[in-house]
């Protein structure tokens, strides 16, 4: 193989490692964000009955009224919405200092562990053999075409 193909394989190896590492860091960051949101809600806990307005793949929109009479509908939806359907009445917990931060009552960041854990697992189940294979090809290329030894100038 040529130096060009070895370089391409090295770039591929670093790319696979970078993408897998980035996905892992993003998943861990998402878990910490969910924990932070739960802690914010728990620190200033408010509860209300909410009506589920719409359910989409990316968010579930709810509408609820706080004790001060203001109706809230968080633009980002409710946290941990699995199993909800439009028109359903559900008990929610929200951050009294930031009513747009709401979650379904009784649910927490532990619900994110399974999807995030499986995402990390499958990422590395794909990346690890690919990294191993690319590393093996790189080593084989280096063994087949060793770098020339630098010649030393005679010392006078």
pLDDT at 147 over 80: no
Average pLDDT, integer, range 11-24: 97
Which stretches of 44-80 are DSSP H helices? none
Main-chain phi, psi angles of 71, to 5 degrees: -90, 130
What integer pLDDT is reported at residue 68 of this predicted model?
92
Interaxial angle between packed helices 3-43 and 113-144, expressed in degrees from 0 to 180 and rounded to the nearest 10? 160
pLDDT digits (tens, 9 = 90+) for 83-110: 999 999 999 999 999 999 999 999 999 9
Residue 115: alpha-carbon gap to chain centroid: 9
Closest CA to 92 of 45, 62, 48: 48
pLDDT digits (tens, 9 = 90+) for 110-135: 999 999 999 999 999 999 999 999 99
Average pLDDT, integer, range 21-35: 98
pLDDT at 4 over 60: yes
Domain boundaries defined on the chain: 3-143
pLDDT at 146 over 60: yes
What integer pLDDT is reported at residue 6 of this predicted model?
83
Higher per-residue confidence, 110 vs 2: 110
Q: Report the share of the chain in percent with pLDDT over 70.
A: 92
Closest CA to 79 of 49, 112, 43: 112
In this predicted structure, which of 50-54, 67-71, 106-110, 144-148 has the lowest mean pLDDT? Answer: 144-148
Closest CA to 51 of 69, 66, 65, 63: 63
Average pLDDT, integer, range 19-25: 98
What integer pLDDT is reported at residue 125 of this predicted model?
98
Mean model confidence pLDDT for the chain: 92
């Amino acid at each position: 193989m040529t130096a060009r193909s070895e370089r391409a394989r090295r770039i591929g190896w670093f790319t696979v490692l970078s993408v897998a590492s980035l996905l892992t860091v993003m998943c861990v960051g998402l878990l910490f964000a969910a924990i932070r949101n739960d802690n914010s809600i728990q620190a200033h806990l408010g509860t209300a009955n909410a009506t589920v307005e719409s359910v989409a793949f990316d968010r579930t929109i709810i509408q609820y009224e706080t004790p001060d009479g203001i109706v809230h509908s968080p633009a980002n939806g409710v946290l941990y919405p699995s199993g909800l359907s439009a028109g359903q009445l559900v008990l929610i917990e929200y951050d009294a200092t930031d009513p747009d931060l709401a979650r379904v009552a009784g649910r927490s960041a532990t619900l994110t562990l399974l999807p995030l854990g499986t995402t990390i697992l499958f990422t590395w189940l794909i990346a690890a053999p690919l990294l191993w294979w690319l590393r093996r090809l790189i080593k084989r290329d280096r063994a087949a075409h060793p770098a020339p030894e630098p010649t030393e100038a005679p010392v006078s």
